[in-house]
């Protein structure tokens, strides 16, 4: 069994990206288990606070990453880039660089947006961070859920069958990708 930690870079209740993460948990193939972590408990990065010891939420977040075989990040896109909530979480998990929770971790990256590009630029920008964190972000396939408001119902359930199919294929590939690093 491969155990992955998933988190979405949005804090709002009706977030499409949180909904996409829930769909991923439900559609995960045999052999893949995705636990969700809520980034609401992760404060803004502050080196002074870090020097006094990780706050409870940060410590729990890093521990959950360490215990997981891989990480699934579900990112929105804000102003053609990665939203602060997600970047901030990655920044905490990249510290300290010598023993970062994200170092050497396989990473899956997906995202949703109501626009036509489905978080493409947010994902692209986030990928750059993995050069520094030394994480192994799966290159392909990609999953960009565009026009997200048409793909989820009012309760956040994924109702678009083609998107569910792409998500299943993504998760199958991510299971194989993660296995490569956990032999
Ligand atoms: C957005 N949104 C947005 N969408 C997009 O596709 N490209 C963009 O550059 C932006 N920029 C942007 C900036 C800011 C500050 C906000 C608040 C929103 C729209 C965004 O995709 C939409 O609000 C999503 O619903 C956010 O994701 P969640 O919260 O639904 O997961």
Tokens found for residue 103: 């170092």
Q: Specify the higher pLDDT residue, 182 or 34.
A: 34
**How confident is the model over 118-166, as pLDDT tens digits?**
999 999 999 999 999 999 999 999 999 999 999 999 999 999 999 999 9
Residue with the nearest Cα to atom 22 of ligand 1? 113
- Pocket-testing residue among 9, 38, 78, 154, ligand 1, by greatest number of atoms within 8 A of Cβ: 78
Q: What percent of the chain has pLDDT over 90?
A: 99
Query: Average pLDDT of 73-102?
Result: 97
Residue 110 has a pLDDT of 98
Query: Average pLDDT of 37-59?
Result: 98
CB of residue 117 inside a 6 A radius of ligand 1: yes
63 falls in which pLDDT band (50, 70, 90)? very high
Query: Average pLDDT of 108-123?
Result: 98
CB of residue 75 inside a 6 A radius of ligand 1: no
CB of residue 12 inside a 6 A radius of ligand 1: yes
CB of residue 77 inside a 6 A radius of ligand 1: yes
Residue 80 has a pLDDT of 97
Per the prediction, the chain carries an average pLDDT of: 98
Output Rg (C-alpha) for the chain, integer angstroms.
Answer: 15
Q: CB under 8 Å to 48, separation ≥6 — which residues?
A: none
d(CA 151, CA 163): 8
Classified as helix, coil or strand, 134 is coil
Residue with the nearest Cα to atom 17 of ligand 1? 78
Residue 88 CA, chain-centre distance (Å), reads: 13
- Runs of H (alpha helix) within 28-95: 47-52, 56-67, 84-93
Residue 79 pLDDT > 80: yes
Dmax over CA atoms of the chain, in Å, equals: 48
Residue 183 pLDDT > 80: no
Residue 20 has a pLDDT of 98
Q: What is the pTM of this model?
A: 0.98
Helix (H), strand (E) at residue 84: helix 84-93
Residue with the nearest Cα to atom 2 of ligand 1? 78
Residue with the nearest Cα to atom 24 of ligand 1? 113
**Contact in structure between 167 and 17 (CB atoms under 8 Å):** no
Residue with the nearest Cα to atom 18 of ligand 1? 78
2-180 belongs to CATH 3.40.50.360: yes
Residue 82 has a pLDDT of 98
Query: Average pLDDT of 49-57?
Result: 98
């Amino acid at each position: 069994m491969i155990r992955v930690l998933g988190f979405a870079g949005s804090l709002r209740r009706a977030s499409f990206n949180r909904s996409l993460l829930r769909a991923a948990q439900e559609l995960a193939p045999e052999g893949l288990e995705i636990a969700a972590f809520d980034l609401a408990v992760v404060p803004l990065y502050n080196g002074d606070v870090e020097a006094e010891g990780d706050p409870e939420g940060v410590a729990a977040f890093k521990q959950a990453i360490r215990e997981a075989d891989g990480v699934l990040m579900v990112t929105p896109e804000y102003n053609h880039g990665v939203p602060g909530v997600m970047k901030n979480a990655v920044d905490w998990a990249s510290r300290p660089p010598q023993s970062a929770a994200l170092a050497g971790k396989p990473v899956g990256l997906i995202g949703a947006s109501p626009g036509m590009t489905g978080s493409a630029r947010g994902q692209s920008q986030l990928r750059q961070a993995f050069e520094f964190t030394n994480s192994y972000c799966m290159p392909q396939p990609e999953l960009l859920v565009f026009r997200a408001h048409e793909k989820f119902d009012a309760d956040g359930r994924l109702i678009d069958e083609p998107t569910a199919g792409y998500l299943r294929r993504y998760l199958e590939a991510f299971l194989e990708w993660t296995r490569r690093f956990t032999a």
